[in-house]
């Protein structure tokens, strides 16, 4: 029996009786991070990192059925050792390491190697078998250093301000929004947030993350307050009547998909900023090499193409069908969240 | 090329007309005159002759990237644009340089006589001098097709503002035979010596009427004509020469030798707007017939006999060498009626449809298919001939299209702006218990629906062949189309004109879709109408 198996509920460790990021209700779920394609509703018991816990509890409305581990701490379940290791994807996100009888599997969850200034940086973990994501597993996806992207965002904001316009930037609510807040030059002007972003900010502030002041947009703020400001909102808010109060505004979208001119134009935004919380092509390859794994399973995105590529590089690799959706799913999830606010 | 790349980026980054005009004016203020001319040419779909085969570019980029060829092509399927794919896979290192746009165009032109290995060496050097966006622009200069949403109208506005010249003057000057190699910027904009006798007028295009026809007010203020289904064109006779322009700003005089007759029919200094339309006897032929002539280099006597082409006149724009576009339409129409001989096989007046009430006109519109026409054109009697697509004075009131319900059986990834989604579908109808594919369609759904279908496709794939997936035959769509013809090239035996998805019939199951018999009866109905 393989240590981990791919089932129609999620990744399953039969020996320990636990699932990793299951998408159907199970008894025991170990969850890599709080995005809705990974942290599903309806499990009996949850295990996640200490840093991911507050958001997951908030989003899934959990009471005391959630347990945590610090990064690197080990939990033995029925002879199998489980531990979390930083994935660098969003604050609290983890790779899940599973060891039994000297055999080590690592499930990456979502990850990136680039430091974003807010998530605990990715740490490579040696293993025999690596289950990797491949959201951007095509050689056309290569990211610029984060600072260059924020230079672009800052310049765009300043320029809009000079023209008397508000700058509206869309990024998904958990992770991307906080990354923007943390790295943008807050001295340029005032920053406001959409309610969906603000409620996540609130949770994260309470657990000790420091973010610049960015109140929720409410009716108490009038045109002069908003003019020249930066508004951080989920992509689902684009085109909604909520946006009208910012007129005239320039619209930016921050996402890895903005790398392609086609997707950039399809979003109908004025500006696309190529800012992703997933590893780009070079980093996926680097990360896989560093694990030293002799076998790789590929999930998310371009799983078929990416596993074929790995095979051509003499790495035993297989495509796995999961319900993980990468950044597209993360964009959609903001839509659900908005409904709650 | 920094200025032009900036312009390209600015145009690409804004969806708003004012922003685009501002970007163009900024560029005109910074660029040299020669660069300005090239920019105007490139943005109005003129590009330097292709001197390197795009497949070579792909091959060299692929070599530099060190990727296997299949992976390059998989990437291309996702990106949807070859120049962009090449740009994205190239190693990112480059040496900062700033040669002008004209320098790079001359560079590309100079490649023509070279052998392939020399071309390769030059191209690799060029890539090494350019940053990512500049590389994309450079690759596009070679492969063509910028598509950055600069309409002729927008260009005209920007140039008029920059050069302080009237818009209609700029619009007229920009059409016709000019080239960045032979003309100068000031020559193009400011001289009036009329050296180019072929120059056409910008076409006035109508929007589709979506509101109730009664919103147009009094019927007697309007003139109605049939909307003909050919190629919009302009016939010009000046200095004893004939020039025929198509709406795509192409000089097509040679394609219609029968039009030489116009030199006898029209006096010097005449420009007529109309439709290039195949006519046999007194009946128009289907657009498909015209298509058999379009692509041909040599027109055989047989083809000329089988598909004779006439010009159906709509309007007169120039008379006795004078621009009369500001006359009222009813006056121009009266002039046109005086010019056009009755029922001449080559030059025909587009007949007016008489009506007193909108109800009468609606009945006439219902008869459109009998005339092989697409509906009714409505023109306000006191309207001037404007340029570009405008609302208000001219409307096309099209007939409702044919529709059938069909089952989606294949899906293919889109291109360009829909690179990541399955957007192009193949549809089938029932023939007994078999589904027979009969058309492809890719437009008509909302972005949200496209995303939903895309997801469904990914979860219901039966088989994959490259970029195409066969899917479970479950989804039903209403397909609308403008015309239906027999075709031996298609398995179903039919071909549709302008097929598109009218709506997603979530209320229907696959078994409720139409049959091949239904399509055949539409075909017979449509043929009977001719
Ligand atoms: Zn995630
Ligand atoms: Zn994910």
Chain A interface includes B74 (CB < 8 A) = yes
- Nearest Cα residue in chain A from B15: A270
| A126-170 tens-digit pLDDT | 999 999 999 999 999 999 999 999 999 999 999 999 999 999 999
From A318's Cα to the closest Cα of chain B, the distance in A is 17
| Rounded (10°) angle between helices A146-162 and A176-183 | 70
| Residue A20 and residue A323 in contact, taking contact as beta carbons nearer than 8 Å | no
Token pair of A310 as six digits: 């790995």
Q: Where in chain B is the domain with CATH 2.40.50.140?
A: 402-528
Domain that holds residue A220: 146-273
- Domain B204-210+221-398 belongs to what architecture? 2-Layer Sandwich (3.30)
Quote the pLDDT of residue B305: 86
pLDDT, tens digit only, all 530 positions of chain B: 899 999 998 888 877 888 899 999 999 999 998 899 999 888 877 777 889 998 999 999 999 999 999 999 999 988 888 999 999 999 988 888 889 999 999 999 999 889 999 999 999 999 999 999 999 999 999 987 777 778 878 888 999 999 888 887 788 778 777 778 777 787 777 765 555 778 888 899 888 887 788 889 999 999 999 999 888 999 999 888 899 998 877 788 888 999 999 999 999 999 999 999 998 877 788 777 887 787 777 788 888 888 899 999 999 999 998 999 999 999 999 999 999 887 788 999 999 999 999 989 988 988 887 788 889 999 999 999 988 777 789 999 988 778 899 999 999 887 666 667 888 899 999 998 899 999 988 777 888 888 899 999 988 988 877 678 889 999 999 998 877 888 877 778 888 887 888 889 888 889 989 999 889 888 887 665 44
Domain B2-143: top CATH class: mainly alpha
Q: How many CB atoms lie within 10 A of CB B335?
A: 16
Selected residues 382-441 of chain B with any CB under 8 Å from a CB in chain A: 414-420
In chain A, what residues touch B447 (CB-CB under 8 Å)? 266
In chain B, what residues touch A142 (CB-CB under 8 Å)? 88, 92
| Residue A276 and residue A290 in contact, taking contact as beta carbons nearer than 8 Å | no
Chain B interface includes A142 (CB < 8 A) = yes
In chain B, what residues touch A269 (CB-CB under 8 Å)? 15
- Among B15, B75, B78, the residue with its CB nearest the CB of A270 is B15
Answer yes or no: do A108 and A34 share one domain. yes
- Among A142, A261, A268, the residue with its CB nearest the CB of B81 is A261
User: In this structure, is the dihedral angle defined by the CA atoms of residues B522, B528, B529 and B530, taken in order, positive or negative?
Assistant: positive
Q: How many CB atoms lie within 10 A of CB A289?
A: 12
- Among A138, A266, A271, the residue with its CB nearest the CB of B13 is A271
| A292-323 tens-digit pLDDT | 999 999 998 788 899 999 999 999 999 988 77
Last residue of a domain, one of A233, A254, A273: A273
Contact A263 B447 (CB under 8 A): no
Answer yes or no: do A134 and A156 share one domain. no
User: In this structure, is the dihedral angle defined by the CA atoms of residues B230, B232, B237 and B239, taken in order, positive or negative?
Assistant: negative
The ipTM, to two decimals, is 0.90
What is the pTM (predicted TM-score) of this model? 0.68
Answer yes or no: do A227 and A309 share one domain. no
- Nearest Cα residue in chain B from A163: B19
Answer yes or no: do A19 and A133 share one domain. yes
User: Which residues make up the environment of ion ligand 2, defined by Cβ < 5 Å?
Assistant: A 37, 110, 324
Answer yes or no: do A64 and A192 share one domain. no
Q: Flag the least confident range among A99-113, A200-214, B33-47.
A: B33-47
| Residue B476 and residue B509 in contact, taking contact as beta carbons nearer than 8 Å | yes
| Residue A122 and residue A109 in contact, taking contact as beta carbons nearer than 8 Å | no
If you measure from the C-alpha of residue A171 to the centroid of ligand 1, how many angstroms do you get, rounded to a whole number?
Answer: 13
Last residue of a domain, one of A257, A273, A289: A273
From B132's Cα to the closest Cα of chain A, the distance in A is 11
Answer yes or no: do A64 and A173 share one domain. no
Angle subtended at Cα B153 by Cα B152 and Cα B159, rounded to the nearest 5 degrees? 90
Does the bond joining B164 to the residue before it have cis omega, within 30 degrees of 0? no
From B376's Cα to the closest Cα of chain A, the distance in A is 34
- Nearest Cα residue in chain B from A144: B92
Report yes or no on A332 lying in a domain. no
From B84's Cα to the closest Cα of chain A, the distance in A is 8
Contact A138 B419 (CB under 8 A): no
In chain B, what residues touch A312 (CB-CB under 8 Å)? 68
The helix/strand/coil state of B510 is helix
Mean pLDDT of A97-125: 96
Distance CA A269, CA B307 (A): 48
Distance CA A131, CA A30 (A): 15
User: What end-to-end distance do the CA atoms of chain A give, in Å?
Assistant: 45
Answer yes or no: do A128 and A179 share one domain. no
If you measure from the C-alpha of residue A326 to the centroid of ligand 1, how many angstroms do you get, rounded to a whole number?
Answer: 6
Q: Where in chain B is the domain with CATH 1.10.3260.10?
A: 2-143
- Among B15, B75, B414, the residue with its CB nearest the CB of A138 is B75
Closest residue by Cα to residue B450 from B479, B481, B412, B482: B412
Report yes or no on A104 lying in a domain. yes
Token pair of B393 as six digits: 């004075």
Contact A138 B78 (CB under 8 A): yes
If you measure from the C-alpha of residue B393 to the centroid of ligand 1, how many angstroms do you get, rounded to a whole number?
Answer: 53
Closest residue by Cα to residue B126 from B112, B116, B136: B136
Answer yes or no: do A125 and A200 share one domain. no
- Among B15, B67, B81, the residue with its CB nearest the CB of A139 is B67
Chain A interface includes B196 (CB < 8 A) = no
Chain A interface includes B81 (CB < 8 A) = yes
Distance CA B366, CA A6 (A): 60
In chain B, what residues touch A272 (CB-CB under 8 Å)? 13
Q: C-alpha distances in angstroms, B223 versus B316, B329, B392?
A: 15, 9, 14
From A16's Cα to the closest Cα of chain B, the distance in A is 30
Answer yes or no: do A184 and A58 share one domain. no
In chain A, what residues touch B6 (CB-CB under 8 Å)? none
- Nearest Cα residue in chain B from A261: B417
In chain B, what residues touch A162 (CB-CB under 8 Å)? none
| The total number of structural domains that make up chain A | 2
* Residues ≥6 apart with Cβ < 8 Å to B18: none
Answer yes or no: do A98 and A153 share one domain. no
Instruction: Say if residue A326's pLDDT is above 60.
Output: no
Answer yes or no: do A20 and A112 share one domain. yes
If you measure from the C-alpha of residue A2 to the centroid of ligand 2, how many angstroms do you get, rounded to a whole number?
Answer: 23
If you measure from the C-alpha of residue A325 to the centroid of ligand 2, how many angstroms do you get, rounded to a whole number?
Answer: 5
Helix extents (H) in chain A:
53-60, 146-162, 176-183, 195-206, 223-226, 261-266, 281-291, 303-312, 326-340
From A70's Cα to the closest Cα of chain B, the distance in A is 36
Selected residues 255-314 of chain A with any CB under 8 Å from a CB in chain B: 257, 259-266, 268-272, 302, 305, 308-309, 312
Distance of CA B328 to the CA centre of its chain: 29
From B136's Cα to the closest Cα of chain A, the distance in A is 11
The helix/strand/coil state of A17 is coil
Answer yes or no: do A178 and A229 share one domain. yes
DSSP letter (8 states) at residue B383: -
Domain holding A104: CATH number? 3.60.15.10
Tell me which ligand sits closest to the C-alpha of residue A325.
2
Tell me which ligand sits closest to the C-alpha of residue A93.
1
Does the domain formed by B402-528 have CATH 2.40.50.140? yes
């Amino acid at each position: 029996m393989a240590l981990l198996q791919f089932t129609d509920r999620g990744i399953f460790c039969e020996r320990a009786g636990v699932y990793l990021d299951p998408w159907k209700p199970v008894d025991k779920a170990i969850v890599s991070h709080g995005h809705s394609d990974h942290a599903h509703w309806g499990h009996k018991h949850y295990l996640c990192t200490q840093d991911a816990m507050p958001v997951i509890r908030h989003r899934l409305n959990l009471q005391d059925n959630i347990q945590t581990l610090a990064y690197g701490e080990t939990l033995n379940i029925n002879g199998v050792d489980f531990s979390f290791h930083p994935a660098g994807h969003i604050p609290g996100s983890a790779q899940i390491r599973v060891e039994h009888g000297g055999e080590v599997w690592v499930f990456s969850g979502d990850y990136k190697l680039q430091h974003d200034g807010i998530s605990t940086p990715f740490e490579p973990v040696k293993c025999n078998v690596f289950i990797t994501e491949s959201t951007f597993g095509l050689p056309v996806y290569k990211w610029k250093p984060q600072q260059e992207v924020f230079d672009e965002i800052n310049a765009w904001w300043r320029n809009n301000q000079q023209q008397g316009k508000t700058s509206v930037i869309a990024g998904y609510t958990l992770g991307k929004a906080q990354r923007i807040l943390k790295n943008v030059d807050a001295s340029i002007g005032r920053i406001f947030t959409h309610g969906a972003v603000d409620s996540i900010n609130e949770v994260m502030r309470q657990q000790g993350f420091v973010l610049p002041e960015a109140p929720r947009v409410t009716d108490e703020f009038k045109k002069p307050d908003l003019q020249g400001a930066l508004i951080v909102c989920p992509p689902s808010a684009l085109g909604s009547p909520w946006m009208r109060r910012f007129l005239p505004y320039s619209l930016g979208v921050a996402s890895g998909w903005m790398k392609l001119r086609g997707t950039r134009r399809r979003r109908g935004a004025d500006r696309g900023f190529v800012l992703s919380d997933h590893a780009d092509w070079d980093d996926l390859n680097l990360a896989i090499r560093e694990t030293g794994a002799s076998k790789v399973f590929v999930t998310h995105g371009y799983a078929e193409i990416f596993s074929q590529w790995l095979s051509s590089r003499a790495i035993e690799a297989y495509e796995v069908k999961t319900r993980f959706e990468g950044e597209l799913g993360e964009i959609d999830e903001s839509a659900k969240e908005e409904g709650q606010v | 090329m920094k200025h032009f790349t900036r312009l390209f980026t600015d145009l690409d980054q804004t969806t708003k007309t004012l922003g685009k005009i501002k970007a163009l004016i900024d560029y005109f203020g910074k660029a040299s005159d020669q660069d300005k001319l090239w920019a105007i040419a490139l943005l109005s779909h003129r590009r330097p002759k292709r001197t390197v085969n795009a497949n070579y570019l792909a091959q060299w980029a692929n070599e530099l990237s060190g990727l296997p060829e299949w992976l390059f092509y998989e990437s291309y399927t996702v990106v949807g644009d070859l120049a962009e794919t090449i740009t994205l896979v190239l190693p990112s290192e480059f040496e900062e340089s700033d040669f002008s746009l004209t320098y790079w165009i001359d560079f590309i032109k100079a490649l023509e006589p070279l052998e392939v290995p020399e071309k390769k060496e030059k191209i690799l050097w060029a890539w090494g001098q350019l940053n990512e966006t500049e590389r994309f622009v450079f690759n596009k200069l070679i492969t063509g097709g910028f598509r950055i949403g600069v309409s002729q109208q927008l260009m005209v506005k920007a140039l008029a503002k920059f050069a302080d010249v009237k818009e209609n003057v700029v619009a007229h000057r920009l059409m016709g035979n000019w080239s960045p190699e032979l003309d100068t910027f000031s020559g193009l904009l400011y001289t009036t010596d009329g050296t180019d006798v072929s120059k056409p007028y910008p076409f006035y295009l109508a929007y589709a009427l979506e509101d109730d026809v009664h919103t147009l007010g009094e019927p007697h203020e309007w003139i109605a004509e049939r909307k003909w289904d050919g190629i919009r064109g302009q016939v010009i006779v000046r200095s004893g020469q004939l020039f025929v322009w198509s709406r795509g700003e192409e000089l097509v005089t040679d394609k219609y030798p029968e039009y030489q007759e116009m030199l006898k029919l029209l006096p010097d200094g005449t420009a007529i707007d109309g439709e290039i339309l195949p006519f046999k006897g007194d009946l128009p032929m289907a657009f498909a017939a015209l298509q058999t002539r379009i692509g041909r280099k040599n027109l055989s006597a047989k083809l000329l006999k089988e598909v004779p082409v006439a010009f159906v006149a709509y309007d007169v724009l120039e008379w006795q060498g004078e621009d009369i576009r500001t006359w009222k339409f009813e006056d121009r129409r009266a002039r046109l009626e005086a010019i056009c001989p009755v029922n001449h096989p080559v030059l025909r007046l587009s007949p007016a449809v008489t009506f007193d009430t909108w109800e009468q006109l609606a009945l006439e519109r219902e008869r459109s298919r009998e005339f092989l026409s697409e509906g009714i054109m409505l023109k306000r009697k006191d309207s001037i001939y404007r340029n570009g697509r405008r609302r208000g004075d001219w409307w096309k009131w099209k007939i409702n299209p044919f529709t059938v319900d069909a089952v989606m059986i294949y899906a293919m990834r889109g291109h360009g702006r829909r690179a990541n989604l399955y957007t192009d579908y193949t549809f089938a109808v029932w023939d007994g218990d078999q589904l027979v594919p009969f058309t492809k369609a890719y437009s008509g759904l909302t972005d949200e629906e496209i995303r939903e279908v895309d997801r469904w496709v990914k979860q219901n794939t039966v088989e994959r062949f490259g970029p195409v997936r066969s899917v479970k035959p479950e989804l039903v769509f209403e397909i609308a189309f403008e015309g239906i013809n027999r075709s031996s090239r298609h398995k179903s035996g039919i071909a549709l004109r302008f097929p598109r998805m009218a709506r997603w019939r979530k209320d229907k199951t696959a078994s409720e879709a139409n049959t091949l018999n239904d399509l055949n009866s539409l075909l017979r109905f449509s043929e009977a109408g001719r």
